[in-house]
Amino acid sequence: MPRLLVNCTHGREDPEKATLPFVVGNVAASADQETVVLLTVEGVWNATRGYADKVCKEGFQPLREVMQSFIANGGQIWACGACAKPRGISETDMVPGAKIVSAASVVEWLAAGASSLSF
Amino acid sequence: MDLPMAQALLEMKTGAEASGSTCALLTPAIKARLKELESGQVLEVRVDDATAREDIAAWCRLSGNELLAMVDEGHQGLRFFVRRK
């Protein structure tokens, strides 16, 4: 099965760039593509409980709803461990369906043939 | 043209100002609706966003579901007939 990795680098400071990776990811997951949204830099906040409730860009579905749909369609949310730690974010802060991963996991996913797209 | 017989209908009339939302919502909504059908059954999709023409065709190629027909009804929008794999 084809693999995709969509990188999300933004949170509330740029709701459009926070939401678009999940829009693309959700379309991919709904088309039965094995899809990961990788959260890095400020984007890691999106995977913390309650944070996405306040992220909404006009003209877009609220981030929380897009994330829930993405997970329901089989998508995975990975939060960069190196980005989460200095922000005080741990596994216990994660929303269901999200997990903190190491760089090696990301490299393994890409080396296995995943195509990537970054926002 | 004889159109396929559909067992279910999905209608997404959003207006041109919300075309971004159509892009985000349409194909996940098609997947959700198809899950309610048996393999081989047909879903009719009615939408007023012209970008759906490419979206649905690409989604069908990716997902393995079959786009049986597409009908352009002008101001009435587009109709698609998708058979569940």
Q: How many domains does chain A have?
A: 1
Of the residues B12, B27, B56, B66, the best mutation for testing chain A's interface (the one with the most A CB atoms within 10 Å of its CB) is: B27
Residues 36-95 of A with CB under 8 A from B: 59-61, 66, 69, 73
Q: Per the structure block, which two tokens stand in for A108?
A: 């393994």
Find the mean pLDDT for residues A101-107.
95
> What end-to-end distance do the CA atoms of chain B give, in Å?
23
Instruction: State yes or no: pLDDT of B21 exceeds 90.
Output: no
Which residue among A27, A61, A66 sits closest to B27, beta carbon to beta carbon? Answer: A27
Q: Are A31 and B18 in contact (CB < 8 Å)?
A: no
CB pairs under 8 A between A and B: 40
Greater pLDDT, B19 or B66: B66
Greater pLDDT, B50 or A8: A8
Minimal C-alpha gap between A82 and chain B (Å): 30
pTM to 2 decimal places: 0.89
Q: How confident is the model at residue B18 (pLDDT cuts 50, 70, 90)?
A: low
Mean pLDDT of chain A, nearest integer: 96
Distance CA A39, CA A58 (A): 22
Domain positions in chain B: 8-83
ipTM of the complex: 0.79
Domain containing residue A95: 3-118
Tell me, letter by letter, the H, E, C secondary structure of B18-30: HHHHHHHHHHHHH
CATH code for the domain in which residue A18 is found: 3.40.1260.10
pLDDT tens, residue by residue, B25-43: 899 999 999 999 999 999 9
Q: List the CATH code of the domain at B8-83.
A: 3.30.110.40
